[in-house]
Structure formats: structure tokens, C-alpha cells
Chain A
Amino acid sequence: MPESLSAELAPKLAVELGLNPSEYEHVVEILGRIPSITELYVYSLMWSEHCSYKHSRKALRMFPTTGEHVLQGPGENAGVISVGDGWAVAFKMESHNHPSAIEPYQGAATGVGGIIRDIFTMGARPIASLNSLRFGTLDKPRQRYLFEGAVAGIGGYGNCLGVPTVGGEVYFEEAYEGNCLINAMSIGLMREERLMRAVAAGVGNKILLIGSTTGRDGIGGASVLASQEFDEKAEDKRPSVQVGDPFEEKLLIEACLELLDQELLVALGDLGAAGLTSSASEMASRGGVGLDIEVTKVPQREENMKAFEIMVSESQERMLAVVTPEKLEAAQAICEKWGLLSTVIGEVTDTGNFVVRENGVIVADMPADSLADDAPIYDPAMTRPAYLDEVQAFDPATLIHPESVAELTETLLRLLSSPNICSRRWIWEQYDHQVMVNTVVLPGGDAAVLRIGDTGRGEMTTRGIAVSSDCNGRYCYLDPYRGAQIALAEAARNVACVGGEPAAITDCLNFGNPEKPEVFWTFHEAIRGLSDACTEWGIPVISGNVSFYNESFGNPIYPTPTVGLVGLIDDVSVTATVAFKDAGDVIVLVGETFDELGGSEYLKSVHGLVTGAPPALDLELEAAVQSAVRAAVRAGIAKSAHDCSEGGMAVTLAESAIAGGIGCSVYLDDDLAGVSSLFSESQSRVVLTVAEGDMDGLLEIFDANEVPFAVLGQVGGERLHIGEKIDVDLNTMKLIFEHTLEKLVGGEMQTEELFEG
């Protein structure tokens, strides 16, 4: 039995480590004694919000998690779906918000590193990354520092690994000023039969720690950073941020995939939040076995480390494997080939207990499943926030709106220069988005398209996946249920625009402090909305992450349930981009525009307001529109396809014209006021272009899917001409659209000046 702490000290330390008194009592009950210091650290981490999902677990049960493509649902390091011909993809999205708010480069870099380890742990080679970012507005130097640092960190890590960063999204809103969001998504490819689970088995098997040495970095990251709000002492938490070494990770990828290829491992797990503690106890708990670990065997990079420090260190780039004694030598030889340390630190036992020794002396002895499964589950109180009635009752018609062609044109230019709409080229040109030569549709469109193929190592196919990540936090703030549904709708619509059929999603649920009833209500509503839409459309949730406590100085961020969706494409040679192609092509709107300015970029950019009811979403109509668009793209009829989202119809047309380098002339035949017709953000709309000769084929597709549509006009010329509403030349738009972000980051201009200049 380990040496217990004193009865006075133990409960005090428990509270300091983030356990509440009743949780501490529960630990005492499980152990039947007062815990040792190592045990207290281990429980405090494993039962932290970050590791145990104690506030969210019940709500997450609403998600549908099974479906025809699903090979592995939630509960593992990543979810896995089958993509045809024996190929499978593993994917997951995860947050690294708090570390990035303190040290943006390392925070974002290690966020990428962590999610990529989750992917190759499943036996998949990482083939693509996406990232979903939120910051405060760029007029603040601190926000520019965070944004620039996070982008550089994502690039610095991903570029070094040779994993292309193919997509993502970014928004700048005051609500994220004290608490930026860095959500990283990774996708990996494997043969179905190679699927690997992190389940320890086989009494007497060896526990092999592979990769970096262990230091004091990141101690308490999960409990200190991820499970508390920020205040003025945030800077003091800098030592809790881990430092990334992408070179080591690249070697780990190659070594681990080779170990799996040669079938040398029983199980593989990565060391993420809560380090060795979480990885080992989860593996043991899933396998119903015990583990016996000797901490002095763990290679250390600092002197005099205590047992608990070794157990909870979040030093990066480490993996834990279970190997049979017969295969140990061969496994270690592969690690050596890649220049990696590999050390036997313990073995699998039949006790069901997670035992930690220091020089043979037991310093912790805990039932393994109590760490992973016995964490308390809470039913937090919920209250509908009072602000909702006020914002939802707001009527945009009470405002004075631009009406003349000159005013409306100026408004469009203002929207194109909004940091939430302008081109993201400045970001994605810092990311290697082509390595592995499978990127069919490059960043800058609605969704990225990747060919399925084991480049230079094995078979190449003509199959593909389409990927998109989306979430409009404003909509979620104004109506969390509908906002979450729109996040999914937009991701699926983006994927439909390149011809993809949604297969499954991962999510990253970013919210404030769940112990506040108003915050928890928004969380619960968002999950309910997302679940309802997932169920209706048959799109399962196969992995994800919850990030709570995203608050600073008591103010929560906008509820931000980010959706990362993967869709399937049978033939990557038939897809579409957002760019207009040839003069004379017919421009067609699928869907309908309504008077829906609530929560719009127009209201924010022009009137400085984030209010109103967000646009309505008809789940049936949305599915029909996506189906029609997908059919048109797959038939090879659609020469371009672009989803209508922030900024409305006018911005959609402008983006397609800028991307194609060719203008258009259209007439919007609706009965709406100019601003609504142009800037309303009604859902379930896509703008397609087709050759005139293909109109009959397109109409047949519309007919079969029973979707509303309107023929708007034609591609051609060097101007964006929207009859009686907008008239502007392409170059003016292009200059504003392409250069805004770089100028804002450089601190050269504020949006307002840029526009006036």
C-alpha cells in the first residue's frame, strides 16, 4: 500500500488540484483509505472536466453514433469510417484553446501534434488537417499576436510533418477576445483491416514508452488550463503550456506505422492530456486488465522528478505500446531505426489495478476502471439566458438601410473587406496544402477534396473525400439550437458543392463554464439541435471533444459547436469549384432568399449589431437542395457551385466572380428590399453555373428533387452587375477581398480605413 497523505493535508491538496470535496470523498471511498500524493494527482486529472467529460457526458448521449459507414464510433482516440474498396479514414477534431491563449505558437502547434497522434494511434497515416479558429478583432495588437502566432504554429508543425493543411475557417469577434479558439482536425487513411484500438491485453505483456523524454512541461495542463476560466493571472500559467517537436512526431508516425505494418503491437495509445496517467489507465480500463509501472524507468529530461510529476507530465511526442515479450526486440529495433527512444516501463497484470512504483516501492495503487469510468457524472442546472428574448425580438426593419445602387455597392465592398468574409489566402499560403499530392480542390473553396491513395507506397484510387469545418458562433449565440443545426447544414452543403455525400462528423464543442446554468442551457440546446439534425439526415457523430470554461473575466465566448464533416466522392475527376468559368454560362440559384438579416454579417459590419433571430432552417428543404446540387456536380453539369452563407447572395456572386476572374450580370427577381435580397443569410441556397446547353438536364435534376430555384443571369464581362442594385468592376472587389487580411494583420489599417482608402 502506498504511503497516504495526512488526513489534514489530503483534502486541502485535493481542492487545490481541482477536485471538489465530494469528489475527494469518492476517491477515499474507492481506495478505502486516504490517497497518496501520486494518487491524488492522478484522480484530479482523470476526473477533470477535460479528461472525464463529467458535465457533458449525459448530453452527448443524444448524438446518433452509428451508421452504414461507421467502423469505430466515439470512445476511442478517433472515429473511423469506411470509404469504399476496403479503405477507411479516421478523423477527429480537438480544441487547444487555453494553451493557445497563453502562448499561441506552441499552443496551436501542440494542438496539431496532439490530434495527429490520435489519428496514427488508430493505425491510420495522417493525410490532412483542418483548423477552426476564433479570435478577437484585429484592431487589437494582442489579437494580431495571437492570430499570427497560431497560424505560424499550425504551419510550423504541420508543414514539418508533411501533412497537408487543406481547409478550415476563422472568425474575428469581440466575444473571443479573452479566449481564442484553436480547434484542430486531423484525418488519416488506412486499410479497414488495420484498425487499431488502444486496448491493453495479455498478462505479462510489456508496456513500451516510445518517443520523447519526460519533463515537467505541461504538468497539470488538463486541470489547470483546460478546466478553469481565465483571469488576470493567466500569464502565470505559461509553464503549463507544452512545447512541440514536430521532427520527433514525424519519426513517431513513421515508426508506429511500421510497427503496425509488421504486426508487432498488441495495442497503441498516445500520451495527450494527463500524459502517462490517462493513456495507461484508459488502455487498462478498456482491456479489463491491470498495469504495473515503474516510474524510474521513464527516461527523464529533468533531474529529481517526483513520481507524480512523471505520471502527469504532458511532455509531447510520446506513445505507449503494449508488446508481447517475443516481439519486443523486433519492436525496439524499429524504434531504433527511426532514432527513437523506446523503454519498457512496466507490464500488463491480471489485478485490474493501476499500480505505480518508484524504485519498487508502490506509490499508487488504484482500480484502473475507477480512473476512466468512475468519474462523477453531473446533471448541471440549466436556465434559458435572459438575453435571448431581447435579441430574438429585434426587427432589422427598424433600421435605416442603404437603398441606392451606389449605397448598396458600397455596402458590398464593406462586406468583402470584413475580416470574417475576405480571402483567407494569407493564412493558407503559410500551410503546405499539397504534400502527398492528393489535394484535388485546394483551400479557398467551400470544401477541400482529397483523393484516396497511399501515395508512393501503395495503391492510388479515383475515390475521394470532401471535408469542411463550420460554425457560425453568432447564430449559436442568438439561438443555440438552430445555430448548431446551421453549422452542420453548412458543412454538409459545402461538401455537396464539390459533389460529396456526407458520411459522418466530428465535433469540437466550445462553451463557457458549465457550472453556470445559462451557459449549460446553451450547451444542451446546441447538442439537442445538432443531434436532431444528425438524426434527421442520417449523419452520425463518430468522435469529438468538449471544451468548457472558455471565459475570461466572467464572460463566456459565443457558444461554438464546431462541426467537422467528411463526405464521400466516388470519382474525384468530377467535382466543382466556386470559380465562374466561361462567358455565357447560366447562373442559377437553388433554394430561396427570405428577409432574414438577423445575425448577419451585414448587421455587424454596417450597423455594428449582433442581434435578431438567425435564419430559419428547414431540414427537409436543406436535404433536397444538397441532393440536387450533388447530383448536378456528379453529372458533370455544374461548372461552378458555391454555397450562400455569410454576406448573402451578393458576396457569393462576388466570390465566384473574383475566383474565376470573370464577371456576371444577374437580376434578383424577389420582392425583397435591396439589403435583404443581397445580404440576407437565408439557409439552403447554392449558386450553380451551367453551360446553356445543360439547362434541360439541370431542370430535370431540380424537378426530381423538388427544389425551388431561379435563373439569375449569365457569366461574362469584367463587372459584377446585379440589376438595379449593384454595379462594380472586378478589380476593385478583388483588391479589397484579397488584401484585407494581410493588411489587418500587419496592423497597417483598420477595416474602416481600409475601406475608405
Chain B
Amino acid sequence: MRFGVVIFPGSNCEQDVVHAAHHLGFEAEYVFHRETDLAGFDALVLPGGFSYGDYIRCGAVARFSPVMSEVIRFAEAGGPVMGICNGFQILAEAHMLPGALLRNDTLKFICRDTTLRVEKSTCQWLDTAPGTVLHIPINHNEGNFICDHVTLSRMEDNDQIVLRYCEPDGSRAEGGSAPNGALEDIAGVCNERGNVFGLMPHPERVVDPATGGTDGQAFFTSIVGTLAKVAG
């Protein structure tokens, strides 16, 4: 299993994703934004950070990066792509995922642990049972997910909502459990096919138990299982 981890100028969580993959015994290598050859990678991760400084809308510049047309081709061929935080913002800007990420409704950057409920979805990146509550930190200024109601109901019909912010017992608070104001407490979504996945929380931060929990491990191991099934 070989992950490709894309580095845009301003990415800053790429080394954490590589560490997470290594910790779980997988291969992972960096892919610089000027690359146009993605041969040899089984799955791609767009990491967190501030691509190109994110001085205009987050991800708005990165989507035009040379590597992105290859990422789109990779995904169209069925290759799995996960965008974490800024990576999610880039995938949304590139229209590889529905919706958009607005500024947090608190108007503050937020770095804290969150509880997330796994929803029933077609996402190839997560095989954890629906209803499971995970502890994963968030770290962003623009994580306030939004989309129009047509898109929302299509996402619901197609099981594209992968993760929701929730209370520690798995319930959703009246008025919302999202720390950032996200519509319907949405923390992670996938495309219809389930191979492209974006989430605001940082699973790579809770893979190595020395510095966190282990709730993020499933986000790296599930896709390996999915690919094995496809290959088998």
C-alpha cells in the first residue's frame, strides 16, 4: 500500500500524514505540487495547511496547481483521494466534492478535540460502524460547511454524509453540535462514488498513541481493506 501525500506551497500537515501511514506500516511519499505523474500510488491524501497562503478563499488557488489535474484524473479513474482540512477545502473548490467551507461562525480559529458520529455512507475511506463516536481534533478557521438544500438532500439520498459533529453520547444538540457552525453538523462528506472524501477533523493526529488517541487509524486502514477487496 502506497499513499501519495501532496505538498502545495503552504501545506503544513503533510509530515503528519506520512508519519501516520508509516506508523501503521504503510508506504507514503510526498508529491510536490508541480508533479504531473501519479503512477505508483494506490491512494492520495491532500493534507492540511494554508495552500498558497490562503489569502483569498481557502483552496481557491491550489485547485489550479499543476498536480490537481492529475488528481482529478486519478479520482475519475476510481482512485481514492482524501482531503483533510485544507485538503477538503481544495477538493470542494475543485468541485470534486459538494458544498463549500465558510469561516467558522465563532470568527475564531479553533484547535480542539471534537466528538464525531460515523454516519451510514458509501465512503470507501471509512468502514467503521455507523453510530460509532470518534474523538478527533479539529484545527481550522474555515470549517463551516454549507451547501444548498437540493445538494443536501441529494447527499442524504446518496449516503454522502460521512461524519457529523456530535455530543459525547453520539446525539446531536438542538441548535447544532458543530463548533464551527457547519450545516447539519457536517464534518466530512464523500462524492457519489465514495472514493473522494473530505473532512475537516485531523485523523492523522490521532494515529500514534504516543501523542494522542488511536481513533484516526481507521481512516488509513479502511481504504487498504477497500482496495484489497477491489483487487481481489
**A contact set with B: CB distance below 8 Å:** 152, 155-156, 159-162, 245-248, 250-251, 338-339, 428-440, 451, 455-457, 460, 462, 572-573
Assembly CA distance A156 to B50 (angstroms): 11
The 3 tightest CB contacts between A and B, nearest first, are: A162-B12, A456-B15, A247-B53
Contact A159–B10 (Cβ < 8 Å): no
User: Which segment of B107-115, B149-157, B183-191 sits at the interface?
Assistant: B107-115
B18 near A456 (CB under 8 angstroms)?
yes
Nearest residue, chain B, Cβ from A573: B210
B residues in contact with A432, CB < 8 Å = 109, 111, 139
Quick check: B112 and A451 within 8 Å, CB to CB? no
- Complex CA distance for A434 and B137, rounded to whole angstroms: 9
User: How far is it, in angstroms, between the C-alpha of A573 and the C-alpha of B18 when the chains are bound?
Assistant: 22
Name which of A430, A456, A457, A573 has the most chain B CB atoms within 10 A of its CB. Answer: A456
What is the minimal beta-carbon distance from B75 to any residue of chain A, in angstroms?
24
Q: Does B93 contact A (CB under 8 A)?
A: no
Residues on B with C-beta less than 8 A from A439 are 211
Asked if A436 contacts B16 (CB within 8 A), the reply is yes
Name which residue of chain A comes closest to B209, CB basis: A573
CB-contact partner of B211 in A155, A430, A437, under 8 A = A437
Of the residues B10, B13, B22, contact of A247 by C-beta under 8 Å: B10
Decide: A435 and B13 in contact? CB cutoff 8 A. Answer: yes
Q: Are B15 and A572 in contact, with the CB atoms below 8 A?
A: no
A160 and B53 contacting across the interface, CB-CB below 8 Å: yes
Closest Cβ of chain A to B47, distance in Å, is 10
Q: Please, which residues of chain B bring their CB within 8 A of the CB of A462?
A: 210
Roughly how many angstroms separate A462 CA and B211 CA in the complex, as a whole number? 11
**Smallest CB-CB separation from B32: which chain A residue?**
A337
Contact partners of B17 in chain A: CB under 8 A: 456
In the assembled complex, which residues on chain A have CB atoms less than 8 Å from the CB atom of B50? Answer: 159-160, 246-247, 250
The residue from B18, B49, B111 contacting A429, defined by CB atoms under 8 A apart: B111
A455 x B53 contact (CB < 8 A):
no
Residues from 173 to 232 in B contacting A, C-beta threshold 8 Å: 202, 204-205, 207-208, 210-212
Interface residues in B37-66 by Cβ distance below 8 A to A read 48-50, 52-55
Q: How far is the CA of A657 from the CA of B69 in the complex (A)?
A: 54
Contact in complex: A431, B16 (CB < 8 Å): no
A416 to chain B, nearest CB (A): 21
Could you say which residues of chain A place their CB within 8 Å of the CB of B54? 160, 247
Residues of B within 8 Å of A440, CB to CB, are: 210-211
Q: Please pick, from A339, A430, A460, the residue contacting B108 in the complex, using a CB distance under 8 A.
A: A430
Q: Is the CB of B16 within 8 A of A437?
A: yes
Point out which of A152, A159, A428, A439 has the most chain B C-beta atoms below 10 A from its C-beta: A159
B interface, by DSSP: helix, strand, loop or mixed? mixed
Residues of B within 8 A of A434 (CB): 111, 137, 139, 202, 205, 211-212
Say whether, besides A247-B50, A250-B12, A435 and B19 are in contact (CB < 8 Å): no
| Complexed CA–CA distance, A440 and B52 (Å) | 30
The contact string, 1 if C-beta is below 8 Å from chain A, for chain B 7-27, is 001101111111110100000
CB pair A572–B210 under 8 Å, yes or no, is yes
Closest to A245 in B: B53
User: Which of B15, B53, B211, B212 has a CB less than 8 Å from the CB of A246?
Assistant: B53
Bound: A250/B13 CA distance, A: 12
In the bound complex, residues from chain A placing their C-beta under 8 Å from that of B211 are: 434, 437-440, 451
Cα(A247)–Cα(B18), bound, Å: 22
Give a binary string over B65-92; 1 marks a CB under 8 Å from any A CB, 0 the rest. 0000000000000000000000000000
B142 to chain A, nearest CB (A): 12
> Which of A429, A435, A460 meets B112, CB within 8 Å?
A429
Complex CA–CA separation, A435 to B20 (angstroms): 12
Beyond A246-B50, A247-B10, A434-B137, is A456–B110 a contact (Cβ under 8 Å)? no
Which of B13, B204, B207 contacts A162, CB < 8 Å? B13
Give 13 new A-B contacts, CB below 8 A, not counting A247-B52, A462-B210. Answer: A152-B109, A156-B109, A246-B50, A250-B50, A251-B10, A430-B110, A430-B111, A433-B111, A434-B111, A434-B139, A434-B212, A436-B15, A437-B20
Chain B residues within an 8 Å CB radius of A455: 15-16, 18-19
Using A162-B13, A245-B53, A437-B211 as known contacts, say yes or no to A431 and B111 having CB atoms under 8 A apart.
yes
Contacts of B141 in A (CB 8 A): 159
CB contacts (< 8 Å) of B22 on chain A: these are 456
Q: Measured between alpha carbons, how far is A155 from B22 in the docked complex, in Å?
A: 29
Task: Give the Cβ gap from B89 to chain A, nearest Cβ, in Å.
Answer: 14
> CA of A573 to CA of B110 in the docked complex: distance in angstroms?
27
- State A541–B10 Cα separation when bound (angstroms): 34
A155 engages B19 (CB within 8 Å)? no
CA distance A118 to B66 in the complex (A): 33
Q: Are B109 and A430 in contact (CB under 8 A)?
A: yes
Contact B14 A456 (CB under 8 A): yes
Q: Of B19, B112, B139, which one neighbours A456 at CB under 8 angstroms? A: B19
> Which B residues touch A250, using CB under 8 A?
9-10, 12, 50
- By a CB distance below 8 angstroms, the chain B residues around A457 are 15, 18
Per the bound structure, the CA–CA distance linking A159 and B140 in Å amounts to: 9
Is there an interface contact between A161 and B12, defined as CB atoms closer than 8 Å?
Answer: yes
Chain A positions within 8 Å of B20 at CB level: 437
Complex Cα distance, B16 from A439, in Å, reads 12
Please report the C-alpha to C-alpha distance between residue A162 and residue B16 in the assembled complex, in whole angstroms: 11
**Shortest CB distance B45–A (Å):** 12
Between A245, A428, A432, A573, the greatest number of chain B beta carbons within 10 A of the residue's beta carbon is seen for: A432
Interface centre among A152, A156, A245, A429 (most CB of B within 10 A): A429
Please give, as numbers and ranges, the residues of chain B lying within 8 Å of A451 by CB-CB distance.
210-211
Chain A residue numbers with a CB within 8 Å of B49 are 162
Measured CB to CB, the nearest residue on chain A to B20 is A437
Do the beta carbons of A437 and B14 come within 8 Å of each other? no
Closest to B11 in A: A162
